Amino acid sequence: DQQVKQNSPSLSVQEGRISILNCDYTNSMFDYFLWYKKYPAEGPTFLISISSIKDKNEDGRFTVFLNKSAKHLSLHIVPSQPGDSAVYFCAASVGSNDYKLSFGAGTTVTVRA
Amino acid sequence: SQTIHQWPATLVQPVGSPLSLECTVEGTSNPNLYWYRQAAGRGLQLLFYSVGIGQISSEVPQNLSASRPQDRQFILSSKKLLLSDSGFYLCAWSWGRVDTGELFFGEGSRLTVL
């Protein structure tokens, strides 16, 4: 049962515009959320995270928003660059079950020049 | 600095053959170790994790097994592969609890079972 869902398998955006990636979760016990970025034939790399005590975390061009009541988080990339073309995974963990991350299926972002 | 390596990078195996994927971490001690699998069109599925030598937790019933013979070595095995075992396997490590940091992934191993 997928507890973390990324319902958009792909996203195409023009260079310089905003990319918005969405993620929904079903487990109300999740209290830590992460985004990973993955290039083809490579392992994912950590991008940004947010704790459930916050509703926003910003790191350069990347901002993650958390809406706990809606069990929804989003990743904003502004401005989008060609190097941002990759697969983005949303992940979540439960504080009391803290050795495991549940991942979404990923969203493939393509940034058009 | 810490590094993680897994091998082989690519593997094509017939159904019913055995499997051994290896993963090693350098530059840290007593890491938590993980095996994930990414099947086509699906997210990363946690298969096994280990918080210490000889300690293996299995998340998904299957014909795969994992072992941790040394502190920084994690091995994924199967005695008889199934077609459904095809996928992209990722080894990862963490300092400790994932809610205080993140996972660091290896380069991945692409397994095709024919």
Q: Which of A7-21, A53-67, A78-92, B58-72 has the lowest mean pLDDT?
A: B58-72
For chain B, percent of residues with pLDDT exceeding 90: 69
Residue A50 pLDDT class (50, 70, 90 cuts): very high
Interface of A with B in 3-62 (CB under 8 A): 4, 6, 9, 31-32, 34, 36, 41-46, 49, 51
Chain A CB within 8 Å of residue B56 CB = no
Q: In this complex, which of B99, B106, B108 lies closest to A98 when CB atoms are compared?
A: B99
Residue B111 pLDDT class (50, 70, 90 cuts): very high
Half-sphere exposure of A42 (CA within 13 A, CB side): 12
Is the pLDDT at B61 greater than 90, yes or no?
A: no
- What is residue B42's predicted lDDT score, i.e. its pLDDT? 75
B84 phi and psi angles, rounded to 5 deg: -70, -5
pLDDT, average across residues A57-86: 97
Is the pLDDT at A98 greater than 80, yes or no?
A: no
| Residue of A25, A26, A42 whose CA lies nearest to A34 | A25
- What is residue A72's predicted lDDT score, i.e. its pLDDT? 97
Helix (H) or strand (E) holding B10: strand B10-13
Locus of tokens 């030598």: B53
DSSP-assigned beta bridge partners for residue B35: B48, B91
pLDDT, average across residues B71-75: 96
Name every chain B residue with its beta carbon within 8 A of the beta carbon of A106. Answer: 43
Query: What CA–CA distances, in Å, run from B14 to B75, B82, B106?
Result: 20, 8, 25
- A·B CB contacts under 8 A: 69
